[in-house]
Amino acid sequence: MIRMFLEIAGTRLEAAWIGSGPADSQHGRPILVFLHDGLGCVDLWRGFPERLCRKAGLGGFLYSRAGYGRSDPIPLPRPLDYETVEGVTVLPHVLEAAGIGDAILVGHSDGATMALLCCGGTPAAGIRGIIAMAPHVFNEDRSVAGIIAARQAYREGDLRARLARVHGANVDCAFLGWSGAWLDPGFRHWNIEPVLADVRVPVLVIQGEDDEYGTLAQVDAIRAGAGGPVQTVVLPGLRPCSLPGPAGGHHRGLCRLCRQPCRRARCTASGLSVG
């Protein structure tokens, strides 16, 4: 993994390449671009990006959004449209700064939502497809309940200490920025379903049946609303890998299921063919 920093509008973002770096995007094959969840960063992906890139035979790129990992901090509270800002405004600039032409966006939770917003809210000319793991397209009771439980663990348990190992001085920025937005009363009716009709690239949705932050209604909404082909994989009994811990258990199961869709993902002249 080749580590680096990008500067986007005066903000330094930590980033990393898997493979040969920008040269990989000059050979007519897309780059897998990894977009982390609401508590994630470059380091919290563990070895998942390398395994996925190796199985897909593609280069990879990942970065920590502002306020996460080793990236620059941001002022709190986060604006309630932060996912749209990141997906529609920041992500295209990141791809441009990294020299990435064609890309397949691999997003987890918030990152999956931002991938959908990028394709639905911008021309997204270089995006060939999306792998969306545990995406959110609207807020629901399970989301709120899961984040309240996480907040309690952060205040009273060891979650803050565990997150601090990867976020360092950004730990409060990362957690409070994420939880504060989702638990804000103004966010209760957040919904991006109207954007889905403009997502015309192929989408692979992977959802754990027991995800504590969202139900299968999220999957149904994407399948019904997306403007392009959608394939779904529901993992029975699987929860998301959104909290730090050893790269085993649920994380191994998620990697195993993601490798299978990547073997079925064929890069063609017209884009990403899934199936």
Distance CA 257, CA 259 (A): 5
**pLDDT, position 25:** 65
For residue 247, which phi and psi values (nearest 5 degrees)? -80, 65
Cβ-contact 262, 272 below 8 angstroms: no
105 burial type by CB count under 10 A (0-12 exposed, 13-18 middle, 19+ buried)? buried
Which pair of tokens denotes residue 228? 């392009």
Angle in degrees, CA 212, 215, 221, rounded to 5: 145
Cβ-contact 179, 172 below 8 angstroms: no
**pLDDT, position 61:** 96
Cβ-contact 253, 51 below 8 angstroms: no
CATH superfamily of 2-274: Alpha/Beta hydrolase fold, catalytic domain (3.40.50.1820)
Distance CA 54, CA 175 (A): 31
Boundaries of every domain in the chain: 2-274
Which pair of tokens denotes residue 40? 């994630």
46-74 as b/e: b if 16+ CB within 10 A: bebbebbbebbebbbbbbbbbbbbbbbbb
What pLDDT tens digit does each residue of the chain (275 aa) get? 899 999 999 999 999 999 877 666 666 788 999 999 999 999 999 888 998 888 888 899 999 999 999 999 999 999 999 999 999 999 999 999 999 988 999 999 999 999 999 998 777 778 999 999 999 999 999 999 999 999 999 999 999 999 999 999 999 999 999 999 999 999 999 999 999 999 999 999 988 888 889 999 999 999 999 999 999 988 887 655 443 332 333 344 444 434 444 443 333 323 333 33
**pLDDT, position 273:** 34
Cβ-contact 18, 59 below 8 angstroms: yes
Residue 104 has a CB neighbour count (10 Å cut-off) of: 26
**pLDDT, position 164:** 96
**pLDDT, position 52:** 87
Cβ-contact 87, 113 below 8 angstroms: yes
